[in-house]
Structure 1
């Protein structure tokens, strides 16, 4: 998964699973066919870009508890 610098042109939104804890949030942006994610408290650190099949695998692994 390549990492790219964050872009002002993207519309970022907080993950619905970030909850009320404002210090630990994941933000996402839809990029046409791809999805970008970044750490909201370190936006200058760049983002990860997922293609649709990779995003589905990532989300499934999270839901199944295979990633911590």
Structure 2
């Protein structure tokens, strides 16, 4: 991940789980992929270069 970006890790923030806090999140595998996820929505797959995959998301602080 970019050394200038602060982020929080939570094991519950993974593809398919419900978001509990509206925020911008970064893909663990592709830290340049950012998704805005609203509370109550399910975390999406990372769609890096059109190849969707499950991932762990990290919240941008």
Q: TM-score range by the shorter chain?
A: 0.3 to 0.5
Q: What is the TM-score with the length of structure 2 in the denominator?
A: 0.33
Bigger Rg over Cα: 1
Higher relative contact order (CA 8 A, sep 6+): 2
- TM-score normalised to structure 1 length: 0.31
